[in-house]
Amino acid sequence: MKYIKPLISEIPWNYNWNYSAMSLLDRQSEGRQSGEQERYLQANNREFNSLFGYPNNSIKTSKYNALNFLPMNLFEQFQRLANAYFLILLFLQLIPQISSLAWYTTVIPLMVVLSITAVKDGIDDMKRHKNDNQVNNRSVLVLMNGRIVTDKWMNIQVGDIIKLENNQLVTADILLLSSSEPYSLTYIETAELDGETNLKVKQAISVTSDMEDNLKLLSAFDGEVRCESPNNRLDRFTGTLTYKGKNYILNHDRLIFRGCVIRNTDWCYGLVVFTGPDTKLMQNGGKSAFKRTQIDHLMNVLVLWIFLFLCGMCFILAIGHYIWENKKGYYFRDFLPWKEYVSSSVVSSVLIFWSYFIILNTMVPISLYVSVEIIRLGNSFYINWDRKMFYELKNTPAQARTTTLNEELGQVKYVFSDKTGTLTRNIMTFSKCSINGKFYGDVYDKNRQKVEISEKTEKVDFSYNRLADPKFSFYDKTLVEAVKKGDRWVHLFFVSLSLCHTVIPEEKVEGELVYQAQSPDEGALVTAARNFGFVFRSRTSETIMIVEMGETRIYKLLAILDFNNVRKRMSVIVRTPENRVMLFCKGADTILCQLLHPSCRSLRDVTMEHLDDFASDGLRTLMVAYRELDNAFFQDWSRKHSEAFLSLEDRENKISIVYEEIEKDLMLLGATAIEDKLQDGVPETIITLSQAKIKIWVLTGDKQETAVNIAYACNIFDDEMDGMFIVEGEDNETVWQELRSAREKMKPQSLLESDPIDDYLTAKPRIPFKIPEEVPSGNYGLVINGYSLAHALEGNLELELLQTACMCKGVICCRMTPLQKAQVVELVKRYKKVVTLAIGDGANDVSMIKAAHIGVGISGQEGMQAMLNSDFAFSQFCYLQRLLFVHGRWSYNRMCKFLSYFFYKNFAFTLVHFWYAFYSGFSAQFMIPGLSLSTTWSTPPSLSWA
């Protein structure tokens, strides 16, 4: 959290902005843009900014308008071969010389089918238009000519300064200028963007925060911003602000994205940087694709083959007519003379060919597609009416939001799932801990036998603490007794938990604390410390207030050493009321064990045993340690810390070195164990999916440790696996070596020169390719982070990634952007040629939901975007089992039986006319007059069969 030291990261400095050093991911994102290399804008200068042709702030998710609806919709519908076939048939029926059927026998059914589909598509698009208009016409306060006026979202332009108020949606991607909170902090909720419901903090730089809400100063502000081009990266932003001849560094902490919600902040002002389609929200939205099932593709192929078969029959009958006319036809010419346009047997045969083409059209009847849509509609109602997929707690039924994909559910081979809110409830609870070598959390009876905790187990009484959270539950009374006795190590342990975090407290009513945490883990730990008597009450940028066993104590906050994936730990440095400088650290045990003082060796061994017990229960673990610092040593370190922050070259590496200098010789306090509650039935559902040979990949933006722990808890990974591969390379070569090493261990033969992938890569030109299934020598898991994935999705590496991943029992992709989720889904679709399903609950899952063959939205706590963009929606992950194995299987079986019966009865009806031709002189006559319209009379039995 960089807002603690606001002056360190905003020292003005002059430099030449060089974009050649931008990261790989930024270059990839820029490559997708329309040639824009960098963005340049000036505040309060619409005339200047308009020269660059930046889009306005309106969005468009609809497909049609009044002018293009009819041609576009008809074009899409005639992509169905059957519709195109009947259109050709209609034209043929308009020729009286060859048609023995009235034209309306084809045009009426065709118009009905096209009209029904067009109405359905039109209604869906009208809903999208309505949503677009609703968003584009929202009101926002904008600074114009020195005063605040109300305008519509769609009229906002790059360079405008807008005012946002508490609980208001952010209009565009804005650079935060000032806010009502101390130090220009602004609290935001990003559920619609990344699926996380925890509050995050943004801070304006001091040069603009001093303007506060002074409209005169804000109107005179003419700062120039140079920044990266629009891209999909949610975790990175690089740019500079030039103001009054000085340059200021801009980073991710200064930008607020469209779709966020302002919380706990009365007002804030922001400079619009990206608008409309250029915003991070829209960049990560993905494109809507028209989804067709395997049955649709199969029917198109069948129609093509039946069409060829029909042409063959017509050709045979035309030849028969030619022979019959030459041998016997002249006997009948006295009674049935040739028409004037028939000059020979050849001409007559050509006309008979087309006549039979019309008569035998029932081989591919248009009623087939009408019947298929009726069956799909019925199967959709079965899903909507399923009481076993009804979630009573929220009164939410399952929804089939499309009627075209039901039978596809029965053919799913890959499931791509989000983690937070999809597999888990996103509710963390403090379960157990180890303090100074003593285990807390288990409950024992009078005979010292361990008791299984249940709803009947007596809870710890926290009535002695008036600030305790009444929803918190703990069962081991010995920990409370240690707190009350004043155990030094227990007190220090909970002091560490109440200080080492980035939680933001809210206390709207005296004594009713609500913690807003960036991570649910932090929230659980701070809540635990609160209940045991160490209440985190408030914070400023310089102090933290703790109520320790009823006594208020204020700690001076000297520094926060941030958590990241490399460090895997977080530290705070504080000055106690006794004027002692203390460092408190929490992090992964694998890291902290290496930083402990040698005197902690025996305590470390005992704690590690406890951590193993925690891990075996599927709990998320952290180690807690501290160090008391000499005042002179800290002052010297603080100077080095400031120098590292001001460094222009290799800044991150220098900061890391400075952190390591102080995070050593730590004294171990203990460890925590947190339970991330899974949704009901998740482990059982995943076991069942695995038994059905369906592979589950977890695509999450969460930390690697968290994702792996959940994978074990829900049985994607298990302790009996033969190995787990972690891909964390930071360049193409390293990632390639890690993937090849994994493949070699799983199946050495896959690296032979005869590998079909090698043949595919060397072939020119490349043809569509399907990666064959490979059976590894055991059960393995794969974990890859978002940065390594960016390399792995490049060029030929994507095939290495896919071949390795598909051999694993489960795959965990962590720290992913929403667009990367879609890219992984597209990769499997492209080279595995199997049916994929994506399931998620947040706006960050929308792109993969759209990319997969089937998208499922969980109506959870993270907004409605996932559900609104899904094909099916329900409230619990465990309902996926019933959706696939009951409704999917039944729909697929019904459709297959229907198609078999339908083609059988139509072939039977048509072949009767073919046989009748041999007894009617190949004269293109109907055998059964009155049934010329179609085989409609036989459709109800086949529908009832389905």
Only one residue has tokens 């073919």, namely: 914
Residue in 121, 278, 386, 418 annotated catalytic: 418
Closest CA to 426 of 436, 438, 434, 418: 418
Asked about 418 being catalytic, the answer comes back as yes
Record the tokens describing residue 278, joined without a space: 């250029």
Residues 791, 732 contacting (CB under 8 angstroms) = yes
Strands (DSSP E) along 700-834, which ranges?
723-727, 780-785, 810-814
Whole-number Å distance between alpha carbons of 765 and 782: 32
Give the pairing type, strands 412-417 and 261-263.
unpaired
- Cβ contacts of 337 within 8 Å, gap of 6 or more: none
Whole-number Å distance between alpha carbons of 179 and 256: 12
Task: Specify the DSSP class assigned to residue 158.
Answer: T
Whole-number Å distance between alpha carbons of 113 and 118: 9
Record the tokens describing residue 236, joined without a space: 């990175």
Whole-number Å distance between alpha carbons of 237 and 929: 74
Give the pairing type, strands 854-858 and 835-840.
parallel
The b/e string for 903-924 (b: 16+ C-beta within 10 A; e otherwise) is: bebbeebbeebbeebeeebbbb
Whole-number Å distance between alpha carbons of 99 and 102: 7
Give the distance, in angstroms, between the CA of residue 429 and the centroid of all CA atoms in the same chain: 25
* DSSP assignment of 835-855: EEEEEESSGGGHHHHHHSSEE
Q: In 817-888, which ranges are continuous DSSP H helix?
A: 818-832, 846-851, 865-868, 879-882
Tell me how many helices (H) and strands (E) the chain has.
Answer: 31, 35
Record the tokens describing residue 796, joined without a space: 């030929």
Whole-number Å distance between alpha carbons of 880 and 839: 9
- Cβ contacts of 815 within 8 Å, gap of 6 or more: 565, 701, 702, 703, 704, 785, 786, 787
Measured CA to CA in angstroms, residue 721 lies from 55, 745, 746, 782, 895 at distances of: 52, 13, 12, 11, 39
Indicate the angle between helix axes 294-327 and 889-917, nearest 10 degrees. 10
- Cβ contacts of 895 within 8 Å, gap of 6 or more: 295, 372, 375, 407, 946
Whole-number Å distance between alpha carbons of 412 and 884: 8
Other CB atoms within a 10 A radius of the CB of residue 616 amount to: 10
Measured CA to CA in angstroms, residue 757 lies from 457, 524, 782, 796, 798 at distances of: 58, 48, 20, 10, 11
One-letter amino acid of 283: Q
- Cβ contacts of 395 within 8 Å, gap of 6 or more: none
Strands (DSSP E) along 72-146, which ranges?
139-144
Tell me how many degrees the CA angle 60-61-62 measures, rounded to the nearest 5.
Answer: 95
Record the tokens describing residue 623, joined without a space: 């180690």
- Cβ contacts of 327 within 8 Å, gap of 6 or more: none
Give the pairing type, strands 424-435 and 38-42.
unpaired
Only one residue has tokens 């609160």, namely: 530
Q: Is the bond into 765 cis (omega within 30 degrees of 0)? A: yes
Whole-number Å distance between alpha carbons of 286 and 232: 10
Rg of the chain, C-alpha, whole Å: 34
Catalytic residues: 418
